[in-house]
């Protein structure tokens, strides 16, 4: 049996039959695999475990980046030092990787502002709109190379194992349809991912279908955007904390950031009869909304609604798109404003630094 698959797969059809046993597990009902490493439980029940999650959303990642950068200005230190686990999807995965490596949110915000227009430069910028549409039926809207080049400028050859905190990044195997989750070696059985290049992990989680080509891993496996199953990774983060790290539900608090959302606005009575033409434009919105709702509901069931601090402001329909580079300044302003308005509600996360992370495999690059 492929042990790695056990620890890197999560079925989001999880219902009460799985959620309730996980909750029991979190409340210290020992399971056989836990005995594999009693060190996982050090501090259980004695110290708060803090998780940061960041949704996917393309250039809308400027919102959480600006939010966190403003928090850094207030607390006077980098965000990553305050969290025991950081989980991010797609653009949120890029932020999670950067924070995990020790970059400040302000540095990551500057990354978006410097490279956003280059990353989201259309293949067909000089063609007629009708030609752009036809070409888009056969190829992705953007090339992978500008994104890769930007990531290499920021992260260089750093490896996932160099992260200073626990990091989890979801992706999807396009050949098998199985989830693929990159993780730091925060459990003894996680023996491979820490050797992966951070740039490759970022490309895998952000390869949004129709926007960017699938990423080919070193093994040849085609990987695409983790947002296809965990765009809001809050549920994944809590399952990781309880099921893999063995943390108690009563110890966990989650700070969850979205990239803004829109009202679903499905006009059932008026448009349902249009069938494929209508749903072709709406199905992605419905899917993402449902996934986010289920993910949040799963997390709330496992650790309690009062322990999840979720910030994902609703904006006017069509205001921001995944590639709205012209709206970066608006997103930045919104992120800064929300941070100032909510700091009193989330100060519990920034009163003390998280305990140092000691990976089971690999070494930090502390130079």
Residues designated as active site: 90, 225
- C-alpha 347/C-alpha 349 separation (Å) is 5
Instruction: State whether the Cα torsion 291-293-298-303 is positive or negative.
Output: positive
CB 184 within 8 A of CB 166: yes
Token representation of residue 59: 């250039």
- Smallest CA-to-CA distance from 311 within 220, 224, 245, 232 is with 232
Phi, psi of 197 (to 5 degrees): -70, 140
């Amino acid at each position: 049996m492929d042990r790695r698959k056990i620890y890197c797969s999560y079925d989001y059809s999880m219902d009460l039959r799985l959620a309730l046993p996980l909750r029991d597990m979190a409340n210290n009902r020992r399971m056989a695999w836990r005995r594999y490493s009693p060190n996982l439980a050090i501090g259980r029940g004695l110290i708060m475990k803090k998780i940061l999650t960041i949704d996917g959303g393309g250039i809308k990642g400027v919102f959480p980046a600006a939010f966190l950068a403003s928090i850094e200005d207030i607390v006077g230190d980098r965000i990553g030092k305050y969290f025991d686990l950081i989980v991010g999807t797609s653009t949120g995965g890029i932020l999670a990787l950067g924070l995990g490596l020790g970059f400040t949110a302000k540095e990551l915000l500057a990354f978006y502002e410097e490279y956003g227009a280059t990353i989201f430069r259309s293949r067909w910028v000089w063609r007629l709109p009708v030609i752009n549409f036809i070409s888009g039926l056969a190829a992705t809207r953007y090339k992978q190379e500008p994104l890769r080049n930007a990531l290499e400028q920021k992260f260089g050859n750093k490896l996932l194992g160099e992260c200073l905190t626990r990091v989890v990044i979801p992706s999807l195997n396009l050949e098998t349809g199985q989830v693929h989750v990159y993780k730091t070696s925060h459990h003894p059985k996680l023996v491979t991912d820490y050797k992966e290049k951070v740039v490759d992990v970022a490309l895998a989680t952000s390869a949004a279908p129709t926007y960017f080509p699938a990423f080919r891993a070193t093994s040849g496996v085609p990987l695409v955007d983790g947002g296809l199953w965990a765009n809001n990774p809050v549920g994944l983060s809590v399952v990781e904390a309880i099921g893999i790290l063995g943390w108690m539900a009563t110890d966990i608090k989650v700070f969850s950031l979205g990239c803004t959302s829109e009202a679903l606005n499905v006009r059932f009575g008026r448009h349902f009869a249009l069938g494929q033409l209508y749903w072709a434009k709406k199905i992605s919105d419905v899917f993402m909304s449902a996934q986010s709702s289920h993910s949040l509901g799963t997390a709330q069931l496992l650790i309690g609604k009062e322990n999840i601090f979720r910030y994902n402001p609703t904006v006017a329909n069509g205001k921001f798109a995944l590639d709205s580079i012209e709206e970066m300044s608006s997103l930045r302003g919104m992120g800064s404003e929300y941070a100032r308005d909510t700091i009193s509600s989330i100060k519990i996360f920034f009163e003390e630094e998280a305990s140092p992370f000691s990976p089971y495999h690999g070494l930090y690059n502390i130079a």
